[in-house]
């Protein structure tokens, strides 16, 4: 997609998040509940930008200003022993899927993780039947760590997810 901009999300993007996350084609593939409030999104985005936070939440915006995708890296745990790991989450509106939006978002997040944030491990969960997303993650070096049975409720049924992770391809060496 040639008229695509990837940038950091701001609280002003909350209406775009509500529109995107209210689309069943989007929230049906996520481990989030549908119909989020704009106030909740504003607060979430505001908190992620607080001083000292290592979260990075990006948006993909079309030339006309429409928010068509988002992806974030968030600490996998508050534990000091897991500070090297971050969790990745991503969503792309149905009409923009298969057009490189997800790839552009993941590429930007992994660049941040690898070159700036001292992240060794990026992890995610994906519905086990979401073959398209699994292939995308595998193209970026993610491998399946395991399957979690009946992990989530989707459409009135319990469904499995895969835990996937990618380790830094060339962790920085110690200098000295």
pLDDT of residue 50: 72
Residue 172 lies in a domain: no
Share of the chain above pLDDT 70, in %: 95
* Tally of domains within the chain: 1
| Contact between residue 138 and residue 132 where contact means Cβ atoms under 8 Å apart | no
Residue 176 lies in a domain: no
Residue 41 lies in a domain: yes
Residue 58 lies in a domain: yes
DSSP H or E stretch at residue 145: strand 143-154
Residue 47 lies in a domain: yes
Q: 100: domain CATH number? A: 3.40.630.30
Q: What is the mean pLDDT of residues 100-115?
A: 96
pLDDT of residue 174: 66
What the block records as the tokens of 19 is: 């529109």
Q: pLDDT-based confidence at 142, cuts 50/70/90?
A: very high
Name the residue range of residue 137's domain.
Answer: 4-167
Q: What is the mean pLDDT of residues 15-24?
A: 82
d(CA 26, CA 66): 15
Q: pLDDT-based confidence at 1, cuts 50/70/90?
A: low
Q: What is the pTM of this model?
A: 0.89
Cα dist from 119 to 14, 15, 74, 82, 96, whole Å: 27, 31, 11, 10, 29
d(CA 123, CA 109): 12
- Digit-coded pLDDT (tens) for 43-79: 887 777 776 678 899 999 999 999 999 999 999 988 8
Residue 174 lies in a domain: no
Residue 61 lies in a domain: yes
């Amino acid at each position: 997609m040639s008229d695509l901009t990837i940038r950091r999300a701001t609280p002003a993007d909350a209406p775009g998040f509500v529109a995107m996350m209210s689309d069943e084609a989007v929230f049906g593939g996520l481990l989030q509940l549908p119909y989020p409030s704009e106030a909740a999104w504003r607060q979430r985005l505001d908190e992620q930008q607080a001083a000292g936070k290592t979260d990075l939440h990006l948006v993909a915006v079309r030339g006309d200003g429409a928010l068509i995708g988002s992806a974030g890296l968030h600490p996998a745990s508050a534990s000091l022993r897991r500070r090297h790991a971050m969790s990745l989450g991503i969503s792309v509106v149905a009409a923009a899927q298969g057009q490189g939006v997800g790839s552009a978002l993941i590429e930007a997040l992994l660049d941040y993780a690898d070159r700036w944030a001292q992240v060794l491990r990026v992890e995610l969960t994906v519905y086990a039947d979401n073959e398209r997303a699994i292939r995308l993650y595998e193209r970026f070096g993610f491998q399946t760590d395991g399957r979690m049975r009946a992990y989530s409720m989707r459409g009135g049924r319990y469904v499995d997810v895969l835990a996937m992770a990618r380790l830094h391809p060339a962790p920085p060496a110690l200098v000295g």
